[in-house]
């Protein structure tokens, strides 16, 4: 009865319609850096540096301590300084709830990406929520072939009273940043995007 009322049969069509709004235009997709660079090119000119609140400054410092130095030898120490022992961390690939597991995960990530850079574009907050807008570039190897990826995203952070991150949720396009580069599925994803 409820399925008839919701007309579930139309949901796949609605989802397809919604997803089509997320696709890059052919010109933007043809760019080596895809739509992330097109987005950055269209941003308003950078205004004078704003003064961050103490909470925003601490969130930015904790974020950059780890992600601007992902290849550093002291990554574990940096994560220990920036993240509480009990956390919620999700980067769309993995969910982690303990700092030690985050150290292991990010060290493996750093080892598998020969080149990695993350640059903070902006920081803003609402109440106790901090949002870090960033751009990321990284390389990785798939079946011996080196892939270069560019992405944009936002990380939602919450800090404890000691200034350590207790919540880190990333919002970014994993298809543009990673999945489209995979053999077989990547070609399928590109074809779908071009057809939308």
As a whole-number percent, the residues of the chain with pLDDT over 90 amount to: 45
Q: What is the pLDDT of residues 67-99, one digit of tens each?
A: 999 889 999 999 999 999 999 999 988 999 999
The domain defined by 25-195 folds into: Nuclear Transport Factor 2; Chain: A, (3.10.450)
User: How much is the pLDDT for 138?
Assistant: 76
How many helices and strands (H and E) does the chain possess? 9, 6
pTM of the predicted model over 0.85 = no
Q: What is the pLDDT of residue 177?
A: 57
In terms of Cα–Cα distance, which of 155, 132, 164, 144 is closest to 56? Answer: 132
Nearest one of 160, 179, 180, 157 to 168, comparing CA atoms:
157
* Residue bearing tokens 């992600």: 67
Round to whole Å and give the CA distance between 120 and 132.
7
Q: Which residue would you say has higher pLDDT here, 10 or 104?
A: 104
Nearest Cα to Cα of residue 150 among 29, 18, 12, 22? 29
Give the pLDDT confidence of 29-75 residue by residue, as tens digits.
444 456 667 776 776 566 666 889 999 999 999 999 999 998 899 99
For 66, residues 6+ apart whose C-beta sits below 8 A from its C-beta are 75, 78, 79, 82, 83, 106
Give whole-number Cα distances, 22 to 6, 12, 56, in Å.
Answer: 24, 16, 29
Local structure of 97: helix, strand or coil: strand
The mean-pLDDT minimum among 12-21, 38-47, 80-89, 186-195 falls in 12-21
CB atoms within 10 A of CB 130: 26
> What pLDDT sits at residue 178?
60
More confident residue, 58 or 147: 58
What confidence tier does 27 reach under pLDDT thresholds 50, 70, 90? very low
């Amino acid at each position: 009865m409820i399925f008839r009322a919701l007309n579930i049969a139309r949901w796949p069509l609605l989802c397809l319609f919604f997803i089509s709004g997320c696709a890059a235009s052919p010109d933007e997709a043809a760019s080596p850096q895809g739509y992330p660079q097109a987005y950055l090119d269209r941003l308003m000119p950078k205004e004078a540096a704003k003064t961050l609140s103490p909470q925003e400054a601490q969130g930015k410092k904790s974020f950059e301590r780890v992600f601007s130095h992902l290849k550093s030898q002291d990554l574990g120490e940096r994560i220990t300084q920036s993240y509480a022992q009990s956390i919620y961390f999700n980067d769309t690939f993995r969910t982690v709830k303990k700092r030690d597991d985050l150290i292991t995960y990010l060290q493996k990530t750093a080892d598998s990406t020969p080149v990695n850079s993350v640059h903070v574009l902006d920081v803003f907050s609402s109440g106790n929520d901090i949002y870090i807008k960033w751009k990321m570039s990284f390389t990785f190897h798939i079946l011996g072939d080196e892939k270069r990826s560019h992405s944009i995203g936002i990380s939602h952070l919450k800090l404890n009273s000691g200034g350590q991150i207790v919540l880190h949720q990333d919002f970014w396009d994993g298809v543009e940043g990673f999945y489209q580069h995979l053999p077989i599925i990547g070609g399928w994803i590109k074809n779908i995007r071009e057809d939308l």
